[in-house]
Amino acid sequence: MGKSLMIVDDSATMRKIIMRTVRMSGLEFDRTEEAGSGVEALQKLQGGPVDVILCDINMPEMNGTELVKKARELPTCSNTKIVMVSTESAQDLIDQVMHDGADGYITKPFTPEKFQEKLTPLLN
Amino acid sequence: MITTMSLRDSLLDSAKEVFETMAFMALEEVADEQEGPGLENETLLGTITFKGDLEGCLAICCGCRCARTIGANMLGADPDEPMSDNDMSDAIGEVANMVMGALKARIQEEVGTMEVSIPSVVRGRELRNSLGERASKISVMVNLEEEHSVQFSLLYRESQA
């Protein structure tokens, strides 16, 4: 069965760049969707599960760390893999967000190889 | 405290990393640091502020044609295709965001915790950013693909708190 992907970032340009980089990495998703904020992402996730979420951290309204915590409370997200994609590289922040329920972390700037390295183990 | 020269090198290295990785563009420093992007009158100024033991503002300033080229490269689009003002501004904001992130990763061991804002972008003529009298300023002028001028600047001071 095909996999689904949601990209959550307040920047429309960054969502397109991430989508392009995922395609360049060779990873294939049958269904992709986007959300411009944590609030919008939660609304969409309540409607049905996705396999993978790529999520920014610094966003207005609801940041990525809050989204991870709230998503983990949803029954529809029990098997969802959440990977943070952020410019933040402080190890204590990475440790915290992984503790809160994220499954991986990719720092910006990123390469297609980095997406392949981080996402492939989560998809198998 | 981190030295001006070290900050300057880190800023340039960060900008190179972001442009090479995300926009597939080669970036080369040029000698004249005093003049802003002079190819066009109207420019975009992307800024992002930070606070902590060191506080200040990182800025990227370039002409609209340059911003369109950067955006197109980041999105894998044709630079001659029309690009909305929103997409162009968004691209410059993301560049500021990523350069700040890359810079932070390079210097945070020396300067301690840095809290970074969300980027903002303005468009206009003769745009300048300022942080008051006690601030230090680093300015780096670069050429992108030997065609476009881009100015990076870092205004900073030790925290007053």
* C-alpha closest to that of A51 among A17, A27, A26: A27
Question: For chain B, which domains are there?
Answer: 4-158 (3.40.1550.10)
Report the complex ipTM. Answer: 0.85
Considering only residues A111 and B40, tell me which one the structure prediction assigns the higher pLDDT. A111
* Among A13, A94, A107, A108, the residue to mutate for chain B (most B Cβ within 10 A): A13
Pick the range with the lowest mean pLDDT from A82-91, B12-21, B27-36, B99-108: B27-36
Query: Six-digit token pair at A119?
Result: 């996402």
Greater confidence, B31 or B71?
A: B71
Distance, in Å, from the CA atom of B94 to the CA atom of B12, rounded to the nearest integer, reads 17
A96 Cβ under 8 Å from any chain B Cβ: no
| Phi and psi at residue B140, to the nearest 5° | -130, 120
**The pLDDT value given to residue B142:** 94
Are B21 and A60 a contacting pair at CB < 8 A?
Answer: no
Q: Which residue of A has its CA nearest to B14?
A: A109
Q: Do A107 and B101 touch (CB under 8 A)?
A: yes
Q: Domain total for chain A?
A: 1
What is the structure's pLDDT at A21? Answer: 95
CATH number of the domain that residue A77 is part of: 3.40.50.2300
Q: Read off the tokens for B39.
A: 């190819």
Q: Does any CB of chain A come closer than 8 Å to the CB of residue B67?
A: no
Taking CB atoms and an 8 Å cutoff, what residues of chain A touch B115? Answer: none
Question: Quick one: closest CA in A to B93, which residue?
Answer: A11
> A109: cis peptide before it, omega within 30°?
yes
Domain span at A93: 4-123
